[in-house]
Structure 1
Amino acid sequence: MLDLGLSKMALIGAVALIVIGPEKLPRVARTVGTLLGKAQRYVADVKAEVNRSMDLEELKKMKETVETAARDVEQSVQTTASDFEKDWAETTAGLSSPEPTGWEPPPPEYKHPGKNWRLKRGAVPQWYKARSGVRTKALSGAARVARYRPKPLN
């Protein structure tokens, strides 16, 4: 890359001041700065795209390895299951199945929920609400404004 030190930057600045002139130098410096910024952003975007493509390739490889491992596990489970089924069939071949006795469990009996519609068991008494300051009645917005509006000083 370019090796620009402080002395080289000062030399470039002095030459630019002489060639371009002091009136146009700030505008040219701004233009050069914006162009350099755009170039840096473009290079950063290209680097990010290359990194994403490399990561994508790595992920594809990893996906393939995981899929092959899953297939291997599935095949081993299937072979183990088939071996187990064969062993189970051999073991249970000599056993006779029990005859049905005809007994069925009785259906569950109806149990009354024990509710009394006249009695509210969780009700809080009115005197307790009044003493603790719980609001028992809802006020509309207009009623609330009328109630809490300061009284005029006459």
Structure 2
Amino acid sequence: MFEIGFTELIVIGVVALIVIGPERLPKVARTAGHLYGRLQRYVSSVKTDISQEMRLDEMRRAGEEFKQSIESAAADVGQQATVVDDYLRNELESVNQAVADASRKVSESAVLEAAPADAPAQQSLPLDLPDQNPRPPAPVAVIETAQGDHAGKPA
């Protein structure tokens, strides 16, 4: 803090002895020592508080950067998922179209084989394809009666 050498301390002590007097000098020196100690503790606590605030600020900044990187990664994953989903939907549509075309060709060839040779050729016949997603059968609830009989009733 201040650079006070030994000679400056001797000069300050002699001046204090002359001004304060030899009876009150020890009491004033103790009081000055206590005040100096309090001042040092106060400065030390302020330094510690400032250091902690700086660390907290750094941690907040690091947390924000981490949050932004996670959000960026999540957005990238979402975009990739959308691209994959679109691709798979297109592939599903092309597979369904190929299956429909193949079943139409098979049914047309079966109709042509079954038709007599002198009969005129028919144009494509409409097909009734089964549902793509058939519904599962309704669950059956088992109800137990007082006699222990089981009766199956649809739920």
Q: Distance in 2 between matches of 1:49 and 1:65?
A: 24
Alignment partner of 1:71 is 2:71:
yes
Q: Distance in 1 between matches of 2:47 and 2:2?
A: 19
- Offset of residue 90 of structure 1: 4.0
SS of the residue corresponding to residue 3 of structure 1 reads coil
Q: Distance in 2 between matches of 1:75 and 1:32?
A: 64
Q: CA RMSD in A?
A: 3.0
Write out the 4+ residue segments of structure 1 that deviate beyond 6 Å after TM superposition: none
- Offset of residue 51 of structure 1: 2.6
Where does the alignment leave 5 or more consecutive residues of structure 2 unmatched?
100-131, 133-155
Q: Distance in 2 between matches of 1:24 and 1:91?
A: 100
Q: Distance in 2 between matches of 1:16 and 1:64?
A: 57
Q: Distance in 2 between matches of 1:91 and 1:38?
A: 79
Amino acid across the alignment from 1:44 = S
Select the structure of larger CA radius of gyration: 2
Where does the alignment leave 5 or more consecutive residues of structure 1 unmatched?
98-154
Q: Distance in 1 between matches of 2:34 and 2:92?
A: 84
- Offset of residue 50 of structure 1: 2.5
Amino acid across the alignment from 1:82 = T
Query: When the two structures are superposed, what TM-score results if normalisation uses the length of structure 1?
Result: 0.52
Q: Deviations over 1:3-41 (max 9, x none)?
A: 210111111122222332333222211110110111111
SS of the residue corresponding to residue 44 of structure 1 reads helix
Whose RCO is larger (CA < 8 A, sep 6+)?
2
Q: Deviations over 1:26-72 (max 9, x none)?
A: 22111101101111111222222233333333333222222211111
Query: When the two structures are superposed, what TM-score results if normalisation uses the length of structure 2?
Result: 0.52
Deviates more, 1:38-47 or 1:65-74: 38-47
Amino acid across the alignment from 1:42 = Y
Alignment partner of 1:35 is 2:62:
no
Q: Percent identity?
A: 35
- Offset of residue 81 of structure 1: 1.6
Deviates more, 1:87-96 or 1:71-80: 87-96
Amino acid across the alignment from 1:79 = Q
Q: Deviations over 1:57-114 (max 9, x none)?
A: 33332222222111110000111122223333444553889xxxxxxxxxxxxxxxxx
Number of aligned residues = 102
